[in-house]
Structure 1
Amino acid sequence: MHKTEAGEKAKVMRKEAGELARAAKAAMKAAKTLPDAGVKARELEGRADVLKAESEALKGAARLEDLHLWQMEKVKTTKRGSRTYHYWMANWRESGKVRNVHLGSCERMSQAEALQKAKRMKAEALGMADLCE
């Protein structure tokens, strides 16, 4: 998987959750001697669980962001001369293979619109349509 914004954010969250879980474990050991350490340990465990859940939710978003958008140029030659057409293409990995998808003309849609369309198509292909909305 390539580096994506959501993927990097999830990675930071997982690291922070691990640190909180270690701190909670240390607080539980200290709870045997200090009565208020148990409360602190449960609080740390709760925050660690929340961060783990959020990082799991970001995994799907990171997977949708991992696609490549590019412009294809096609030159058609006729009796009157040649004409160049530009259109948006996207590709991503699906089941171990690269899938190339035609998105539409560069004249009719902007790069942002093409990116949204590509994310929507990838979500449908991967069965994650609810994440792209």
Structure 2
Amino acid sequence: MKSIHRTASGRKAKELRAEARAWRNEARKIRAAAPMLEPAARLREEEAQRLEGEALEALKEARLEAVTIYLGDVEKTTAKGTKTYRYYFASWKVGDRVVNKYIGSPRKMTPEEATAKARELKRQDLGLRPEGEN
């Protein structure tokens, strides 16, 4: 699983995978040096597996964080003339296609609220559970 943008969760996953790799290397060195220390090597392998699991969870979260929020201008033509309105939009990739969604008016929400709403829309689009559910 690969994330498009650099996110905090993506960086965390990268660090966890590097740490797991270090634990696996240490286990390999222990096995090569002294086969009688197999239990110690096994403990290191278990720790590496636990870290890999955490890294996968962090990558799932990074996938949700990889959303671009932007302000788009929309022109509306009426009998009195044209008027330009600004709206929040979000875009993200699903497979090979880019999904663009309307988020809302900047008058009614802050950029943080727009980001939260975009992540929730992406979560629904990907078929994941809402954030509060387990």
How many residue pairs align between the two structures?
129
Tell me, in whole angstroms, the C-alpha distance in 2 between the residues paired with 1:109 and 1:13.
35
Q: 1:15 is aligned with what amino acid?
A: A
Who is 2:44 aligned against?
Answer: 44
Q: In the alignment, does 2:23 pair up with 1:20?
A: yes
Query: Would the aligned equivalents of 1:120 and 1:129 in 2 still touch at CA under 8 Å?
Result: no
What SS class does the counterpart of residue 101 from structure 1 fall into? Answer: strand
Q: 1:63 is aligned with what amino acid?
A: R
Structure 1 window deviating more from structure 2 (77-86 vs 2-11): it is: 77-86
Q: CA offsets, 1:28-82, max 9 Å, x none?
A: 22333xx5x3343222112111110100111211111111100112233445455
Tell me, in whole angstroms, the C-alpha distance in 1 between the residues paired with 2:30 and 2:104.
57
Q: In the alignment, does 2:66 pair up with 1:72?
A: no
CA offset at residue 114 of structure 1? 0.8
Q: 2:31 is aligned with what amino acid?
A: M
Displaced runs of 4+ in structure 1, greater than 2 A? 29-32, 37-40, 74-84
Tell me, in whole angstroms, the C-alpha distance in 2 between the residues paired with 1:121 and 1:29.
50
Structure 1 window deviating more from structure 2 (72-81 vs 121-130): it is: 72-81
Q: Which has the larger radius of gyration?
A: 1
Over the aligned positions, Cα root-mean-square deviation in angstroms equals 1.8
Identity percentage of aligned residues: 33
Relative to the length of structure 2, the TM-score reads 0.84
Tell me, in whole angstroms, the C-alpha distance in 2 between the residues paired with 1:91 and 1:129.
20
Tell me, in whole angstroms, the C-alpha distance in 2 between the residues paired with 1:75 and 1:124.
29
Please list every run of 5 or more consecutive structure 1 residues that lacks an aligned counterpart in the other structure: none
What SS class does the counterpart of residue 129 from structure 1 fall into? Answer: coil
Q: 1:29 is aligned with what amino acid?
A: A
Q: How does 1:24-35 map to 2 (within 5 A)?
A: 24-32=27-35, 35=36
What SS class does the counterpart of residue 107 from structure 2 fall into? Answer: coil
Q: How does 1:1-133 map to 2 (within 5 A)?
A: 1-32=4-35, 35=36, 37-80=37-80, 82-130=82-130, 132-133=131-132
CA offset at residue 129 of structure 1? 2.5
Tell me, in whole angstroms, the C-alpha distance in 1 between the residues paired with 2:34 and 2:123.
47
Please list every run of 5 or more consecutive structure 2 residues that lacks an aligned counterpart in the other structure: none
